[in-house]
Amino acid sequence: MNKVLIIGCGGVGTVCAVKCAQNPDVFNEIVIASRTRSKCDAVAAAIGAPNVSTDQVDADDVDQLVALLRKHQPTLVINLALPYQDLTIMEACLQCGVHYLDTANYEPRDEAHFEYSWQWAYRERFEKAGLTAILGCGFDPGVSGVYTARAAKHHFSAMHNLDIVDCNAGNHGKAFATNFNPEINIREITQRGRYYQDGKWIETEPLEIHQPLTYPEIGPRESYLMYHEELESLVLNFPTLRRARFWMTFGQEYLTHLRVIQNIGMASIEPINYNGMEIVPLQFLKAVLPNPKELGENYTGQTSIGCRISGIDKQGKPLTYYIYNNCDHHKAFEETGMQAVSYTTGVPAMVGAMMLLKGLWLKPGVHNVEEFDPDPFLDEVAKQGLPWHEIFNQDIEL
């Protein structure tokens, strides 16, 4: 009997719950728990299956989490709350003997700082407990790492350059909105850029480096070099890499709004005192921005996310390789009620959970996705709505 507990019921949590419910042979029982139970109830009602139930939890509180896990006794927790809750949920999983999976690495609330060290520090404890923790199993991080693992397993004897390219060519019709949690998203985009070159990390000003890249079925889009968390584990797990970078597209309108938000202090995470009340400007901004969960209905266009890799193939010849998925916002909405950014994160989270429950990705310790066999995951993720395509020896522009 497999029982999963999904914590967090935003856009990503909703997609993951819908997709788990579509696979009842693997996910025999599903519990959705979040800070606001009414949101979980609404999702469970929309799914309308007898094996889906809900609960309430403040995932910042280890004691509450432990009580929740003892009550439901799941095999696995799928953490789709915010990165702030990663460590408390991992701690509760250890106390209750439950496997763990998430889609974003831990971030302390008071510092926009992304690194795996906090979660990797749990390796020995998970290993000793015989429990598996799978880190970063959304699209990027997530499928981006599995694509890289496929390239290494099947196509390259040595990968030299890796560029993860993430394009959202969708249109939601709003002047400004973020596609996932606005607080987490703006913290990520406004930080300094960083990429890996010849064993060193090179820092840039935020969004300083950019160039047009051509995306399949979309065409050229200005793409901006940013730091992204999966680069940290990929350069360690694939040491032949000489350069590893991450690119994301932004429209001019989005960047203008972002600049204004920063210039007027609304992106700040320093608390201020307003009329006797402590307010974090970025958290207040999140409260007035459109809810990413509600963008889906009028969203048109596609996302295109993939890996462009160059190096030496298994026969010793130079090879360029591009593996990607395009996902249509409207199709994602029709299936799950959510737009493609939530969809492309929630589907891989479900597939990663499926791999663990089937025993295919079961390895005590704390692991990034590229440390597992990419083949069963990629077979399944294609069946579950995210087909992927490969292009060999064409101009990868980077």
- What is the smallest separation between the CB atom of 190 and ligand NDP, expressed in angstroms? 15
81: contact with ligand NDP by CB under 6 A: yes
Q: Which candidate, 366, 363, 355, 351, places its Cα nearest to that of 116?
A: 366
- What is the smallest separation between the CB atom of 58 and ligand NDP, expressed in angstroms? 5
Binding segment for ligand NDP (CB under 6 A), chosen from 30-38, 116-124, 269-277, 373-381, is 30-38
Burial (CB < 10 A; 0-12, 13-18, 19+), residue 314, is exposed
Binding ligand NDP by CB under 6 A: which of 55, 58, 335, 397? Answer: 58
Q: Which residues contact 288 (CB under 8 A, 6 or more apart)?
A: none
Two tokens at 321?
């390789």
Task: Pick out residues in 177-216 that bind ligand NDP (CB under 6 A).
Answer: 180-181, 184
Burial (CB < 10 A; 0-12, 13-18, 19+), residue 383, is exposed
227: contact with ligand NDP by CB under 6 A: no
Binding ligand NDP by CB under 6 A: which of 5, 12, 52, 213? Answer: 12
Question: Which position has the token pair 């300094």?
Answer: 192
- What is the smallest separation between the CB atom of 36 and ligand NDP, expressed in angstroms? 3
Binding ligand NDP by CB under 6 A: which of 4, 77, 126, 142? Answer: 142
Binding ligand NDP by CB under 6 A: which of 75, 103, 233, 310? Answer: 103
Task: Pick out residues in 254-313 that bind ligand NDP (CB under 6 A).
Answer: 292-293
C-alpha–C-alpha distance, residues 249 and 322, integer Å: 17
Two tokens at 168?
């959202």
Q: What are phi and psi of 66, to 5 degrees?
A: -60, -45
Considering the complex, state which of residue 3 and residue 293 has its C-beta at the smaller distance from ligand NDP: 293
13: contact with ligand NDP by CB under 6 A: yes
139: contact with ligand NDP by CB under 6 A: yes
DSSP one-letter string for 321-345: EEEEEEEEHHHHHHHHSS-HHHHHH
DSSP 251: -
C-alpha–C-alpha distance, residues 347 and 350, integer Å: 5
Binding ligand NDP by CB under 6 A: which of 2, 3, 6, 8? Answer: 8
What does the per-residue mask of binding to ligand NDP show for 162-181, with x meaning CB under 6 A?
------------------xx
Residue ranges binding ligand NDP (CB under 6 A) = 8-13, 34-36, 39, 57-60, 80-83, 85, 103-104, 138-142, 180-181, 184, 292-293, 341-342, 345
